Structure 1
Amino acid sequence: MPLTDPYAGRKPALPESVDSLRQRIPGWGADLDPADRPSYPRESLDLRPEGAVWDLPESQPHDGYRERSIEHADLTPVFGTAQPLHGVSGAIRRLAYERYSEGRAAHWLLLIAGDRVDVLGSTLRSFATRRPDNLLTETGVKAELTHGGLKSRLGRKRADLVHQPLDPVIVAGPWVVGALAGWSVVRRLRR
């Protein structure tokens, strides 16, 4: 099925006729008659509502790769350029956009994985600077101890109490595993 321009309001042609779809799919087209729709008579089928007079703006110039959902034929007319894709996280995000539709969980899971890889990379890069990230204060561990973290949780029926036992594992777990792996590598090198 050819892609359509979602920003111009053109509706794609049906791959089959209405009659064949009605015969093949039970209940298909039940709302084709506007009188059968719950929003009738307020629904407007006019793609250009009264007072909205504009055409698609001129496209922003771009060179190189830009992320674009595979559902869309073209980029949006205006897009951000402040954070271009880079490194391993960029390759993961590029894979998500090139291979998977936005309707698939794999698309979003790859984007989340790309974010996590980017966070890990920036944390590791911070250790090479004169002022590395302070994990105790930036993860909120110090605030838990100094600003009544436990007191704010008890007796308040908070919804986030369910996952709180997992929080230390999720936040500290990767660091503990990394430290153990580094320690075992150093121990092997010493032998």
Structure 2
Amino acid sequence: MTEPATPYRARKNTPPESRDALRARIPGWGVDLDPKDRPSFPREQPGIETGAHWEFPDRQPETQPRERSIEHAMLPPVFGTSAPLKGASGAIRRYAYRTYSEGRAAHWLLLIAADRVDAWEHHLKSLATLRPDNPVTETGIGSEFSGNGFKSRSGKRVDVNHSWMDPAIVAGPWVLAGVGAVAALRALRGRR
């Protein structure tokens, strides 16, 4: 089990390490402390007007719980609310944000898995509507037979190298889902 990361705060509670301690611990630390070695030094002189300013904006109200990184103590002042978390994909995303730091591969792999689960949730949801997803027409396979689809693949194109895989990548999940459904029906029939 990994230790949870401490949240980032703009103001540190502990005093900073001394220059000598940092130089001893980190090779090359402080090479730019001498103003002659710093190309931006003249701009940092007091009295030079840069036009930069910052005032913390008003905070957007958080009307429903939002996913947030464990490294940050609070949400940014403004954040998106157009796609609230829901279903199994939302549970996976909440787990990824609640458990793993953004610097861990597990965090991002869980978010990718949640995207795939979300796509399947929407495919299954479309089956309950009057206009379910049509994997043949929505993948654009029809354009291969009209509009010079095969002819446009010849010549010097970068994507020609992997075009032989495209039908398997597009149709593969649907074929696997069909095989799984047939296997499940056979298993149910075998129990009866």
TM over 0.5: yes
The answer on 1:101 being equivalent to 2:101 is: yes
Residue in structure 1 matched with residue 124 of structure 2 by the alignment: 124
Query: 1:148 maps to which residue?
Result: 148
Equivalenced residues, count: 183
Tell me, in whole angstroms, the C-alpha distance in 2 between the residues paired with 1:139 and 1:68.
34
- Please report how far the alpha carbon of residue 13 of structure 1 lies from its aligned counterpart in structure 2 after TM superposition: 6.3
Separation (CA, whole Å) in 2 of partners of 1:97 and 1:142: 40
Give the structure 1 partner of residue 182 of structure 2: 183
Q: Which position in structure 2 is the counterpart of 1:91? A: 91
Q: Distance in 1 between matches of 2:89 and 2:153?
A: 36
Query: RMSD in angstroms over aligned alpha carbons?
Result: 2.7
The answer on 1:4 being equivalent to 2:3 is: no
Q: What is the distance in 2 between the residues matched to 1:176 and 1:135?
A: 11
Identity in percent? 56
Determine the C-alpha separation between the residues in 1 that align with 2:176 and 2:20: 61
Could you tell me how far 1:134 is from its partner in structure 2?
A: 1.3
- Check conservation: 2:7, 2:71, Cα contact below 8 A: no
Conservation of the 8 A alpha-carbon contact between 2:7 and 2:70: no
Q: Distance in 1 between matches of 2:44 and 2:166?
A: 49
Per-residue CA deviation, residues 100-158 of structure 1 (Å, 9 max, x unaligned), is 222332222222211111111101110111110111121121122223222222112x2
1:176 deviates by 0.9
- Choose between structure 1 and 2: higher helix proportion: 2
Scaled by the length of structure 1, what TM-score is found? 0.81
1:76 alignment partner, SS class: coil
CA 1:2 to 1:125, structure 2 compared with 1: closer, same or farther past 3 Å? closer
Greater RCO (Cα-Cα under 8 Å, separation 6 or more): 2
Q: How much does 1:11 deviate? A: 7.6
Which structure 1 segments of 5+ residues have no match?
A: none
In structure 2, the CA distance between the partners of 1:78 and 1:2, relative to structure 1 (3 Å rule), is closer
